[in-house]
Amino acid sequence: MRETLLLLKAYWVGIKPYAMFLQRFGFRSRRRQNKVLSVVLAALLVITFGYFMVMLFSNYWAYQTLGMMIDRPYLGLFFAAVVSSVATLVYTLTSVSNVLYQAPDIKMLQALPIEERTLALSRLAILYATAAPIYWFFTLPAMVVAALIGGFSFQLFFGALFFLVLGPILPLSILTLIGVAIMRSRIFERSPGLSKTIAMVLFILFFVGLSSMMTRYLDQSGAMAYDYQAMIASLVPLIEVLERWLKPLLVQANALLSFSSLFWFILLSLGVGAVAMQVVVATYHSTVALAKIGGHRRANGRRATLERGRSPLVALMRRELVVLSSQNAFVFEIVGELFIPLILLVVWIITGTIGDMAALFSSILSLDMATQIIFVILLLMGNFSLLSSTSVSRQGKYFALDRLYPVEAARYVQAKLLLHLLLVGVTNIIYVSTALILIGAGAKALAWAIPLSVLSVAVIAPLQLAIDYRNPNEEWTLAQQAMKSNLNGLFGLVIALGWTVICALFLILLPLLGVVRAPLIAPLFIIGAVVARWGYRFAINQARLALSR
Amino acid sequence: MLQCRGLSKRYPSQKRNAVDMLDLDVAGGEIFGFLGPNGAGKSTTIKMIVGLLEADSGTVSLDGLDLVSSPIEYKRMIGYCPDEPLFYEKMTGLAHLGFIADIHGLDEATRKERITTLSEQLLLVDELADPISTYSHGMRQKLSVIAALLHSPKLLILDEPMVGLDPKASYNLKELIKSYAALGKLVFFSTHVLEVAQNLCTKLGIIEEGKLRFSGTFSELQQMEGSEAQSLETLFLRLTEDRS
């Protein structure tokens, strides 16, 4: 136990996950501009955090109140248990194999006189320590709501305490068992990222579905009031299904209300946790060995064949793909971002909200500005990407290699931007043209919408790339530090949002307010072309500086 | 000719320069052995020569081409094999070599011929089809040497190249270095194995505390120390211990 804690402490001191995240804000920068930017970003994050908290709180309040009406006083807590578990699963899925089996420090630790069992337990402890805060974030508001509605009691206090401490064990145990199965399966051998990506997309569908439920029953007044009649009418059958399928979470929710449920919850959590722990410990050595070589693969003995030569530009683009596919977390992010519109469509179908969405879209379609509105929505969705804004960071320590190759900074930038254009630009063209054809927009609309969607990529991507070249994260240890937890990605999203706002202004708002008579398409193209050209040069300059550092 | 003039570098956390006003000349056909105790400044110097690290002051040039003003042309003329080579682990060895060949713009015939020759010389033929993640340390070292030599650079820089190589591969590499220098190319390598340096190098440089203590042939070192029968190991220890 002492050694396990020692290893956990060493990991925390060595990796400093939260300190590293805060460091990316750049508060220590001497430049005043950077400091202002840091403060703005920090404020944005705090506002986002607060908004989420308010949304969670009001939803838990609504479900807890609804529960009182339909004789289910645990409903808000049950909802919290489901949301927290799914959020923990989603957040941890791409990092579970990394933390348990593939982290770079494992190789070093294996050489030390540490028992395999201790090492395995320490990795599980690390997994818990990194995932539990996410779980608590989604759970804590429900505890407060339960105390406010039901009143404070010792039962509630002890129940809440065990809910928080033991709650993450169930999702993490399931995830761990899935992780072990994937790492040891032949699927991992054939395609290390595919199985995880599929699992992750399924979880995302579930997660986005839940979040759409969070706003679905809000009253039209917009004052966080809920339409309880509508909720009772449509939610009760769904709640009954969830209660049947998610029995352990039902027991967990009731742990705050009855001691017998608390007893069963503790027993269940410890039991499932012990099974997962035993499986990890028993298979640790062989799974780490498999992880090192990327599956059951053996040297195949076949004669190597050399591929045909390519230009340096194409070679660098292919290299980008190699970097992108080197980590499951990267693959998932990109797949998720590229298929957001499709994922949303599936989620709406699954959660039964497709009817609401269809009604919303038909009301949009009745407007004069329908084409422009649909275009701007798709523009936002299509460019909601971390591809370029974390491109250099994804290379990590390998970025040093770029300083060795006899390649101009411009060539690196071109390779990254062309790949962005191929991945994001092409999917954008498909979405925009499909959507506009489906709504019956004519050839005239397609004639400006398709070039504008491509131009938008050319505006956004170079600026995002410049940000990452300016301050790349070359020191990451866990893949999510390079992409998901990389502040440059957030800056990039702000840029994408900014350009979408400009497009909305020129295409929708100004004509709507009567400032101009028709959408300002030509000026938008001119501004876009100027910004794209400037952004491209800016990106090259930043790349040149980064490569000479 | 590789020329370093007044090369200096200080790391932010250090009180003294890691490399201090270093002047160095290596001519074509020479095998230059760069020696020094741990922390003497060998790796820092090498990193500045290959362009991985920016010098605080001083210049580096190869055949008159300056690293700072003509970085691309300069880098086209060098091949670098680091002490801990970095690879994209999911690539196969051959894919990596293909990538390096693409970067240097080698044509089909040349790349095929060089990869075949070098992989046979360094005994890394069958393994080229396997992912680099399955390679041993020695195999990585061999792959790094092949990649560094693929475009026939004018200057070959090797940082501790013998570490991890089996005796046969080590012998082959030494022969390869000799034949490479015989073509009029420059070979610059750092090593802690003084026996290898004594037998292989035509010129030696000894660095200590960031300063170049000696630069010349082994016999010049013997003459300077006044003991012509002594081995490089003895002379090196005497030279570095006298100073410290």
Distance, in Å, from the CA atom of B107 to the CA atom of B122, rounded to the nearest integer, reads 22
Distance, in Å, from the CA atom of A333 to the CA atom of A335, rounded to the nearest integer, reads 6
Which of the pair, A38 or A154, is modelled with greater confidence?
A: A154
Q: What is the pLDDT of residue A447?
A: 92
| Average of per-residue pLDDT across A399-414 | 91
Tell me how many domains chain B contains: 2
Interface contact A190, partner B, CB < 8 A: no
Please count the other Cβ atoms lying within 10 Å of the Cβ belonging to residue A403.
19
Distance, in Å, from the CA atom of B114 to the CA atom of B111, rounded to the nearest integer, reads 5
In terms of domains, do B161 and B232 share one? yes
Is the Cβ pair B130, A300 closer than 8 Å? yes
In terms of domains, do B239 and B158 share one? yes
Q: What is the pLDDT of residue A325?
A: 81
Inform me whether the pLDDT recorded for A236 exceeds 80.
no
Q: What is the pLDDT of residue A184?
A: 75
According to DSSP, the β-strands at B57-62 and B203-208 are unpaired
In terms of domains, do B125 and B30 share one? no
Chain A residue with minimal CA distance to B96? A319
B57-62 sheet: strands from edge to edge? B19-26, B2-9, B57-62, B65-66
Inform me whether the pLDDT recorded for B185 exceeds 90.
yes
In terms of domains, do B135 and B41 share one? no
Residue type for A542, please?
Answer: Q
Q: Which of B151, B186, B207 is the last residue of a domain?
A: B151
**Measured between CB atoms, which of A306, A310, A325 is closest to B112?**
A306
Q: What is the pLDDT of residue A451?
A: 94
In terms of domains, do B232 and B117 share one? no
Inform me whether the pLDDT recorded for A301 exceeds 50.
no
Burial class (CB in 10 A: 0-12, 13-18, 19+), A362: exposed
Inform me whether the pLDDT recorded for A383 exceeds 70.
yes
Q: Which of B151, B167, B195 is the last residue of a domain?
A: B151
In terms of domains, do B71 and B159 share one? yes
Give the tens place of pLDDT for each residue, A248-262: 898 998 888 888 999
Q: Which of B100, B125, B151 is the last residue of a domain?
A: B151
In terms of domains, do B158 and B239 share one? yes
Q: Say what percent of chain A tops pLDDT 70.
A: 80
**Measured between CB atoms, which of A300, A325, A326 is closest to B129?**
A300
| Average of per-residue pLDDT across A228-256 | 80
Give the tens place of pLDDT for each residue, B15-37: 888 999 999 999 999 999 999 88
Inform me whether the pLDDT recorded for A218 exceeds 70.
no
In terms of domains, do B54 and B159 share one? yes
Q: What is the pLDDT of residue B143?
A: 93
Indicate the average pLDDT of chain B.
88
Inform me whether the pLDDT recorded for A299 exceeds 50.
no
The alpha-carbon gap from A402 to the nearest alpha carbon of chain B, in Å, equals: 9
Distance, in Å, from the CA atom of A457 to the CA atom of A431, rounded to the nearest integer, reads 14
Give the containing element (helix H, strand E) for B7.
strand B2-9
Q: What is the pTM assigned to this prediction?
A: 0.67
Backbone angles phi, psi at B13, to 5 degrees: -85, -5
Length of chain A: 549
Inform me whether the pLDDT recorded for A298 exceeds 50.
no
Is the Cβ pair A397, B75 closer than 8 Å? no
Distance, in Å, from the CA atom of B126 to the CA atom of A302, rounded to the nearest integer, reads 7
Distance, in Å, from the CA atom of A228 to the CA atom of A218, rounded to the nearest integer, reads 9
Provide the token pair at A336: 């998720």
Chain A residue with minimal CA distance to B49? A404
Distance, in Å, from the CA atom of A239 to the CA atom of A87, rounded to the nearest integer, reads 19
Residue B117, domain extent: 86-151
- Judge whether A434 and A375 are in contact, CB under 8 Å: no
In terms of domains, do B68 and B146 share one? no
Inform me whether the pLDDT recorded for A120 exceeds 70.
yes
Per the listing, tokens 């919290």 go with A80
Distance, in Å, from the CA atom of B103 to the CA atom of A123, rounded to the nearest integer, reads 40
In terms of domains, do B133 and B164 share one? no
In terms of domains, do B164 and B104 share one? no
**Measured between CB atoms, which of B52, B95, B104 is closest to A403?**
B52
Which of the pair, A191 or A6, is modelled with greater confidence?
A: A6
Which of the pair, B234 or A531, is modelled with greater confidence?
A: A531
- Set of chain B residues whose Cβ sits within 8 Å of the Cβ of A412: none
| Average of per-residue pLDDT across A317-346 | 80
Is the Cβ pair A306, B98 closer than 8 Å? yes
- A:355-414 residues touching chain B, CB 8 A cutoff: 397-398, 400-401, 403-408
> Cβ contacts of residue B113 below 8 Å, gap of 6+?
none
Distance, in Å, from the CA atom of B193 to the CA atom of B183, rounded to the nearest integer, reads 25
Question: Is the ipTM of this structure higher than 0.85?
Answer: no
- A:243-302 residues touching chain B, CB 8 A cutoff: 292-294, 297, 299-302
In terms of domains, do B157 and B237 share one? yes
Indicate the average pLDDT of chain A.
81
Inform me whether the pLDDT recorded for A533 exceeds 90.
yes
Inform me whether the pLDDT recorded for A457 exceeds 60.
yes
Q: What is the pLDDT of residue A469?
A: 93
> Cβ contacts of residue B32 below 8 Å, gap of 6+?
B26, B186, B187, B188, B189, B201, B202, B203, B204, B205
Inform me whether the pLDDT recorded for B210 exceeds 70.
yes
